[in-house]
């Protein structure tokens, strides 16, 4: 979907190739342009490699501008993807099993790798689609660049582990439910943060400990260690980014003077009063009930969710079916 309704033909400056990475073209490259190139890269392995390089350039300061305010651009409705993975409807996906057999372990790792491949696109999409549109501060771009870099590493490691298990990415079917949700939240950053990062990513935190335990019980400590020591702790920080910027948007709308003051003092934008916190939580409930079908599924990983910055008052009320909403 276009970020802006301006009909001017989009202009893109090409990303540097491997040969000219250190050339002066970096001086004019913007992060959003780089994000668009990543989104338009169909091969997931190349997408991960390019994303890692772009992230490093941004974090090192070689890419210095988040976007060019005078440059019009369009964000693809669906990122480029190779037709290597057979896609099926979520309800038609074969059961993954409980990691008790090699076939089950392959299926679970393949599913996780596929989720991470979409997570790469989600991270660059939020940068390209909403950063300029919502006039987000530089820290927003940096946070999601770090998320994108992590997701690319997760995909690469899981794909490698899948090969060690005797399979490969694309050998099994998968579904694109995660991107379907992204398309449904493509018009609102607040909604994208709530649904993708505070619901879907938090759900991942809920189920990962059980997944890790199942791999250990099945004798696959290598996969269990990868999930436990690399992916699990980093996914907590990804969820935290969603919570952080959801709060930011709510506070910027409700208490702009307070937000400006906090930013001037170098503090994170956090609710200063109990009523501010309650306002943010109520907004979260409203957004999720409007854009996420059905109640959230317990049990919840309260420890990981707390580490990500939100407690049970955020999600427990959403685990109860809203009868009033359902009857409308």
The reported pLDDT for the residue numbered 174 is 87
How far apart (Å, rounded) are the C-alpha atoms in residues 88 and 76?
22
Which pLDDT belongs to residue 4? 35
Task: Tell me the C-alpha to C-alpha distance, in Å, between residue 238 and each of 26, 105, 234, 277.
Answer: 28, 25, 7, 21
Comparing 179 with 165, which gets the higher pLDDT? 165
Q: What is the mean pLDDT of residues 230-255?
A: 94
**Three-state SS for 191?**
helix
From residue 304, alpha-carbon distances to 123, 201, 232, 300 in Å are 21, 11, 9, 9
Helices marked H in 131-226: 138-164, 177-184, 189-192, 201-217, 221-226
The pTM (predicted TM-score) of the whole model is 0.85
Residues in the chain, how many? 328
Q: What percentage of the chain exceeds 70 in pLDDT? A: 84
Tell me the per-residue pLDDT of 188-237, one tens digit each, with 9 for 90 and over. Answer: 999 999 999 999 999 999 999 999 999 999 999 999 999 999 999 999 99
| Predicted confidence (pLDDT) at residue 22 exceeds the cutoff of 90 | no
- 3-class SS string, 41-67: CCCHHHHHHHHHHHHHHHHHCCCCECC
More confident residue, 246 or 94: 246
- Residue 190 has what pLDDT? 97
Q: How high is the pLDDT of residue 262? A: 52
Q: Please state, rounded to an integer, the average pLDDT across all residues of the chain.
A: 86
Confidence check: pLDDT of 325 > 70: no
| pLDDT computed for residue 258 by the predictor | 53
pLDDT tens column, 130-145: 999 999 999 999 999 9
Residue 66 CB neighbours (<10 A): 21
């Amino acid at each position: 979907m276009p970020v802006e309704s301006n009909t001017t033909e989009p202009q893109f400056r090409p990303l540097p190739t491997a040969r000219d990475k250190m050339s002066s073209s970096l001086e004019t490259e913007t992060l959003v342009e780089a994000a668009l190139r990543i989104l338009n890269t169909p091969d997931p392995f190349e997408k991960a490699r390019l994303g890692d390089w772009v992230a490093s350039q941004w974090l090192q300061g070689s890419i210095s501008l988040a976007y060019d305010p005078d440059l019009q651009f369009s964000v693809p409705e669906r990122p480029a993807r190779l037709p290597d993975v057979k896609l099926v409807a979520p309800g038609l996906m074969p059961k993954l099993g409980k990691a008790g057999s090699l076939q089950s372990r392959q299926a679970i790792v393949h599913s996780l790798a596929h989720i991470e491949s979409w997570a790469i696109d989600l991270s660059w999409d939020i940068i390209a689609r909403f950063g300029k549109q919502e006039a987000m501060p530089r820290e927003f771009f940096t946070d999601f660049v770090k998320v994108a870099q992590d997701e690319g590493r997760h995909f690469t490691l899981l794909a490698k582990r899948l090969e060690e298990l005797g399979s490969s990415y694309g050998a099994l079917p998968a579904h694109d439910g995660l991107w379907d949700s992204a398309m449904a939240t493509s018009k609102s950053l607040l909604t994208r943060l709530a649904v993708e990062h505070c619901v879907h990513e938090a759900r991942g935190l809920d189920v990962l400990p059980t997944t890790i335990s199942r791999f250990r019980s099945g004798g696959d400590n290598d996969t269990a260690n990868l999930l436990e020591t690399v992916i699990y702790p980093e996914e907590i920080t990804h969820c935290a980014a969603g919570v952080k910027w959801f709060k930011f948007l709510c506070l910027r709308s409700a208490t702009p003077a307070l937000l400006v003051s906090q930013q001037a003092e170098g503090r994170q934008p956090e609710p200063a009063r109990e009523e501010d916190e309650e306002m943010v939580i109520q907004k979260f409930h409203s957004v999720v009930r409007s854009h996420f079908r059905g109640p959230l599924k317990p049990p919840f990983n309260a420890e990981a969710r707390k580490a990500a910055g939100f407690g049970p008052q955020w999600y427990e009320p959403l685990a109860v079916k809203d009868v009033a909403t359902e009857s409308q």
